[in-house]
Amino acid sequence: MKIGFVGLGIMGSAMAANLVKAGFQVTVWNRSSDARNLLAGMGAATVPTPRAVAERCDIVIAMMANPVAVIAVRDGSDGILAGLSSGKGYIDMSTVDADTSRESARLTHAAGALFLEAPVAGSRKPAEDATLTIMAAGDRELYDRSLSILEKMGKKLLFLGETGSAARMKLANNLVMAGMLTALSEGIALAAGSGLDLGQFLDVLDSGAVANPMFRLKGPQMAANGEFPAAFPLKHMQKDLRLALRLAEENGQPLFTTAVVNEQYKAALAEGLGDCDFAAVSRVIRKLS
Read off the pLDDT of residues 51-78 as tens digits, 9 standing for 90 and up.
999 999 999 999 999 999 999 999 999 9
Domain boundary at 97, 130, 162, which?
Answer: 162
Beta bridge partners of 154: 132
Task: Tell me, yes or no, whether 173 and 89 share the same domain.
Answer: no
pLDDT of the residue at 288: 72
Task: Tell me, yes or no, whether 204 and 264 share the same domain.
Answer: yes
Measure the CA–CA gap between 166 and 93, rounded to whole angstroms: 10
Does this model's pTM top 0.85? My answer is yes
The domain tally of the chain equals 2
Instruction: State the average pLDDT over residues 207-222.
Output: 96
Q: Is the pLDDT of residue 280 over 70?
A: yes
Domain boundary at 136, 162, 188, which?
Answer: 162
> Which range of residues forms the domain containing residue 40?
2-162
Q: Which band of pLDDT confidence, cut at 50, 70 and 90, is reported for residue 154?
A: very high
DSSP secondary structure of 44-66: -EE-SSHHHHHHH-SEEEE--SS
CATH number at residue 76: 3.40.50.720
Annotated catalytic residue within 88, 170, 218, 239: 170
Task: Tell me, yes or no, whether 49 and 27 share the same domain.
Answer: yes
pLDDT of the residue at 287: 80
Q: Is the pLDDT of residue 209 over 90?
A: yes
pLDDT of the residue at 273: 97
Task: Tell me, yes or no, whether 188 and 233 share the same domain.
Answer: yes
Instruction: State the average pLDDT over residues 21-37.
Output: 95
Q: Is the pLDDT of residue 47 over 90?
A: yes
Is 170 an annotated catalytic residue? yes
